[in-house]
Structure 1
Amino acid sequence: MRNSQLSAVLFMVLSMLSYQVSASYAKQLMQALDPFTVVTLRLSFASILVVLMFRSWKIIQRLPHLKWRDLLFYSAAVCVMNVLFYASLGKLPQGIAVGLEFLGPLTLALLSIKHKSDYIWVGLAIAGIALMVPWQDTHAHNFSYIGAAYALGAGICWAFYIYFGQRVARQNMGMHALSIAIVLSTLILLPINSIRNPEAMLQFQYWPQALMIALLATAIPYTLDLMALKRLSKLSYGTLSSLSPALAAIAGMLLLKEHITLWQTLALICIMTASVGVTYRASRTAPESSKVSAS
Structure 2
Amino acid sequence: MPNTYMMAVVYMILSMVSYQISASIAKHLMEQLDPISVTLLRMFFAAIIVCIMFRSWKIIPQLKTLKWRYLLIYSLSLGLMNILFYLSLGRLPQGIAVGLEFLGPLGLAFLSIKKRSDFIWVMLTIIGIALMVPWTQLNSLKFSFVGAACSLGAGLCWAFYIYYGQRVIKLNIGMHALSIALVISTLLLLPVTIFQHSPIFTHPEFWLSGIIIAVLATAIPYTLDLLALKQLSSISYGTLSSLSPVLAALSGLVFLNEFLSLTQWFSLLLIMIAAIGVTLNEKNS
- TM-score, structure 1 normalization: 0.83
The equivalent residue for 1:203 is 203
Q: Which residue of 2 aligns with 1:186?
A: 186
CA distance in 2, matches of 1:144, 1:283: 40
Which secondary structure does the structure 2 equivalent of 1:136 belong to? helix
Comparing 130-139 with 35-44, greater Cα deviation is found at 130-139
User: 2:99 & 2:34 partners in 1: Cα distance?
Assistant: 22
Q: Classify the secondary structure of the residue corresponding to 1:140.
A: coil
Q: Is the 8 A contact 1:37 1:201 kept in 2?
A: no
**Contact 1:88-1:151 within 8 A present in 2 as well:** yes
Q: Deviation at 1:99?
A: 2.1
Structure 2 equivalent of residue 291 of structure 1: none
Query: Greater CA radius of gyration, 1 or 2?
Result: 1
Identity %: 57
- With 119-128 and 53-62 compared, the bigger mean Cα shift is at 119-128
Mapped to 2, the partners of 1:118 and 1:32 lie a distance apart of: 44
Contact 2:70 / 2:164 at 8 angstroms: preserved in 1? yes
Task: Tell me the distance in 2 between the aligned counterparts of 1:273 and 1:124.
Answer: 8
Q: Report which stretch shifted further, 214-223 or 201-210.
A: 214-223
Name 2:260's counterpart in structure 1. Answer: 260
Q: CA deviation at 1:266?
A: 2.9
Is residue 51–residue 179 contact of structure 1 (8 Å, CA) maintained in 2? yes
What stretches of structure 2 of length at least 5 have no aligned partner?
Answer: none
Task: Report what 1:71 is aligned to.
Answer: 71
Please give the TM-score of this superposition, normalised by the length of structure 2.
0.85
Any residues of structure 2 matched to 1:156-171 within 5 Å, and which? 156-171=156-171
Residues 240 and 279 of structure 2 are in contact (CA less than 8 Å); yes or no, is this contact kept in structure 1?
no
CA contact (8 A) 1:78 1:185 kept: yes
- Give the aligned partner of residue 141 of structure 2: 141
SS at match of 1:171: coil
Distance (Å, rounded) in 2 between the aligned partners of 1:3 and 1:112: 24
Alignment partners' CA distance in 2, 1:103 and 1:225: 18
Question: Do the aligned partners of residues 104 and 126 (structure 1) sit closer, same or farther apart at CA in structure 2, a change above 3 Å counting?
Answer: same
Contact 1:74 1:165 in 2 (8 A): yes
CA separation in 2, counterparts of 1:59 and 1:112? 33
- Give the Cα–Cα distance (whole angstroms) in 2 for the partners of residues 2 and 198 of structure 1: 49
Aligned residue for 2:37?
37
Q: Unpaired runs of 5+ in structure 1?
A: 288-295
Q: What residue number does 2:244 align with?
A: 244
Contact 1:92 1:148 in 2 (8 A): yes
CA separation in 2, counterparts of 1:66 and 1:233? 23
User: 1:53 touches 1:219 (CA, 8 Å); kept in 2?
Assistant: no
- The one-letter code sitting in structure 1 at the alignment partner of 2:78 is V
- The size of the alignment, in residue pairs, is 282
Cα distance per residue 1:168-213 (max 9 Å; x no partner): 1111011111111110000000111111233354322111111111
Question: What is the rounded CA distance, in whole Å, between the counterparts of 1:205 and 1:129 in structure 2?
Answer: 38
Aligned match of 2:213: 213
The whole-number CA distance in structure 2 between the counterparts of 1:282 and 1:261 is 32
Q: How big is each residue's C-alpha offset from its partner over 1:62-84, in whole Å with a ceiling of 9 and x where there is no partner? A: 10111111111111100100001
CA separation of 1:57 and 1:25: change in aligned 2, threshold 3 A: same
